[in-house]
Amino acid sequence: KTDRGRIYLILGPPNDIQHIDGKSEIYNCEIWFYQGKVELGLPTGFNLLFFQEKGTGEMRLYSPTNDGPQALLTGYWGDQADYMRAYNQLREVDPTLANVSLSLIPGEENQNLGRPSLSSDLLLRQIELTPKRMVEDKYARKFFEYKDIVEVDYTANYIDSDYLVKISKIPGGYYFINYVLEPKKLSVNQYDNRFMANLKVNGTLTTVDGRLVYQYEKTYPVQMTETQMKERASQPVAIYDVFPCVPGDYKLSVLLKNEASKEFTSLEQTIRIPGKPGVEMSSPILAYKVSPVEASGRLKAFMLGKFQLYLQAGRVFTNKEEVSVALQVHGLTDELKSKGSLKFQIMKEQEQQPFREKVVSLAEIETLPDVIQTFPLTDFPPAHYFLNVFLLVNGQEQISTKEEFEVSYLETLPRPWVLSRVLPTLDNPYYSYIIGTQLYHLGRLVEARTMLEKALAVSPGTEELAMALARVYVSQKEYELAASILDRFLNQEKTANYETYFTAGQALLEAGKYEQAINALDKAVKHYGTDINLLNLIGECYLKAGRKEEAMAVWQKSLELNPEQPELKKKLEAAKKK
């Protein structure tokens, strides 16, 4: 009936058990080490971690992606999505436990990446399926090969995919990361004459040294009639997505999960957004179709100005098609526009001379900074081609960009049907919220504050916005400001998020408003129940408010839930002597 009992029945006794208890900074834990289970499709050696959640009840099985190192700490007050901060805090207390918190498989901790390894949740899934003998050979092979770092629920079967990532920029505004992800297949469930699937995307953007910058979750519901299903049976599917990003060097990790079939696929790519002053030329996007869009002001992935680009990650075309080369040239002065030109040069593989070349004056391009040039492929033999685009000034090359593509022997290629979400107009606080959150995680608090204050002014009733700004204020020790913007959510009919009550309580305590802090934390207890973190903070408020007896009673209750809190015991003894 317990997690430890179930694992014991499936795998038998572990080779070693390490008990971690009696430390006030972390909840009681046990690390079970197994080896020699290769015949079950499991790694040569692996750990399983059990912990006493919030210091009470039976120990349960730990998941690196679903729980994270923050779930092991009794006193973690940071962003629940900031795995690296929680990992570093845990490492100061117990380095071994910290490593296991990121990966259950020794050697795959990915400490420098700051995110849990997906391999660990694949391991847990594999163990759960072991009694039923449901593991396929392909999945088992992928289990050993696949080392990912995105936060997702574990799933059953990995499928291959193609993907492509491109950067675009709104004139005078934000940079955007656009990507297309094309799974090799799409499985659906059938209900009567309807065919359905729910695709969930989990994305994570980190710095190259592993600090979390941004993470998100999106869903793409799929519903088709029988006729649509038949029409699309021979077509691939492509998921387009886009989000704004602060300039910098990053790693993008995206996992696409099909909740109908329990299949998943992934994308991982390093990204550089220079954001430097001067002339910038983006990497070309090669589209098989370009369509004009209505001027609604709303955005979609791979939308360039007034045109929607349709592309595939493989960049393969037939000679019955055209290839549209789309790019952006930002930072052009009036002088450069009058004197400059773009040279498009297409080289066939293993040939020294250009197969096709075209020079276009910048003065002739009315859509700048957006550029779209189309090349018919009628006389292109099947081969691999290299595209180079040069910015020329007075005939001299200044900067360049490049891409590659294939012309196929096939007469036709199946083009995908596209799933894409529409983003709001640029004046929507959605963008300031995302950019502000990224700046906060990058430690650029002044810029983050400006962005988030701007967003909250437009949408003052959005709790997530208020919490994001409150975190910035707390980091700047502006405790009264943090408490003031959360106040409206504490006193509304709708229940606030746990983090809102807790952060408000902390801010009010630091601001010296002890009774208000107690009131906020009491609401957290009312709606979410007690845990030792809440009780310990309430006790601090009582003590500062001069209500020593109540502080001692609350702390005593906390020790009943988890007696292994030596620091709290010291506080309690000190309070008794006063």
Specify the residue for token string 């002739």. Answer: 364
> Hey, what are 553's tokens?
């009673």
Residues 6+ apart with CB under 8 A from 521: 501, 502, 505, 534, 537, 538, 541
What is the per-residue pLDDT for 443? 95
Specify the residue for token string 């709001």. Answer: 424
Rounded to the nearest 5°, which phi and psi values hold at 238?
-130, 130
Q: Regarding the domain with residue range 429-577, which homologous superfamily does it belong to in the CATH classification?
A: Tetratricopeptide repeat domain (1.25.40.10)
Are 405 and 144 in contact by the 8 Å Cβ rule? The answer is: no
DSSP codes joined into one string, 22-71: S-TTB--EEEEEEES-GGGT--SEEEEEEE-GGG-SS-EE--TTTT-GGG
What is the per-residue pLDDT for 162? 94
Angle at 75 between CA 507 and CA 495, to 5 degrees: 55
What is the per-residue pLDDT for 133? 40
What is the per-residue pLDDT for 521? 92
The boundaries of every CATH 1.25.40.10 domain in the chain are 429-577
Whole-number Å distance between alpha carbons of 60 and 28: 11
What is the per-residue pLDDT for 115? 63
Whole-number Å distance between alpha carbons of 13 and 353: 69
Are 485 and 456 in contact by the 8 Å Cβ rule? The answer is: yes
Whole-number Å distance between alpha carbons of 557 and 535: 8
Whole-number Å distance between alpha carbons of 85 and 319: 53
Whole-number Å distance between alpha carbons of 564 and 51: 14
Specify the residue for token string 């920029």. Answer: 169
What is the per-residue pLDDT for 148? 39
Give the dihedral of Cα atoms 502, 505, 511, 515; nearest 10 deg.
180
> Hey, what are 478's tokens?
């502006």
Mean pLDDT by 10 residues, the chain (578 residues): 82 86 88 84 88 88 88 81 82 88 76 61 81 43 36 55 94 88 90 87 91 91 90 91 96 89 87 88 97 87 95 95 96 92 95 94 94 97 96 92 95 94 90 96 96 94 94 95 95 90 94 94 88 90 92 89 85 85
Rounded to the nearest 5°, which phi and psi values hold at 164?
-150, 140
Produce one character per residue of 438-464: b if its CB has 16 or more CB atoms within 10 Å, e if not.
bbbbbeeeebbbbbbbbbbeeeeebbe
CB count in 10 Å sphere of residue 94 = 17
Are 273 and 435 in contact by the 8 Å Cβ rule? The answer is: no
In this structure, what DSSP letter does residue 73 have?
Answer: B
What is the per-residue pLDDT for 561? 82
Whole-number Å distance between alpha carbons of 259 and 502: 33
Helix (H, G, I), strand (E, B) or coil at 390: strand
**Which strand (E) or helix (H) includes residue 465?**
helix 463-475
Give the orientation angle of helix 514-528 with respect to helix 532-544, to 10 degrees.
160
Label residue 76 exposed, middle or buried (CB < 10 Å: 0-12, 13-18, 19+): buried
Listed residue (32, 43, 219) closest to 122, CA to CA: 43
Total residue length of the chain: 578
The boundaries of every CATH 2.60.40.10 domain in the chain are 159-333+399-420
Label residue 545 exposed, middle or buried (CB < 10 Å: 0-12, 13-18, 19+): middle
Rounded to the nearest 5°, which phi and psi values hold at 241?
-150, 160
Whole-number Å distance between alpha carbons of 10 and 72: 25
CA 385 to chain centre: 34
What is the per-residue pLDDT for 144? 39
CA 190 to chain centre: 30
What is the per-residue pLDDT for 146? 36
Looking at beta carbons, which pairs linking 366-370 to residues 24 or more positions away fall under 8 Å? Answer: 367/305, 367/306, 368/329, 368/332, 368/337, 369/169, 369/171, 369/328, 369/329, 369/330, 369/332, 370/304, 370/305, 370/307, 370/326, 370/328
Residues 6+ apart with CB under 8 A from 117: 64, 102, 103, 105, 108, 109, 110, 147, 148, 149
Whole-number Å distance between alpha carbons of 325 and 373: 5
* Amino acid (1-letter code) at residue 316: V
Whole-number Å distance between alpha carbons of 339 and 414: 42
Q: Quick one: three-class SS letters along 266-308?
A: EEEEEEEECCCCCCEECCCEEECEEEECCCCCCECCCEECCEE
Whole-number Å distance between alpha carbons of 21 and 73: 12
Are 228 and 211 in contact by the 8 Å Cβ rule? The answer is: no
Specify the residue for token string 């990992």. Answer: 87
What is the per-residue pLDDT for 114? 53
Q: Answer whether CATH 3.90.226.10 is correct for domain 159-333+399-420.
A: no
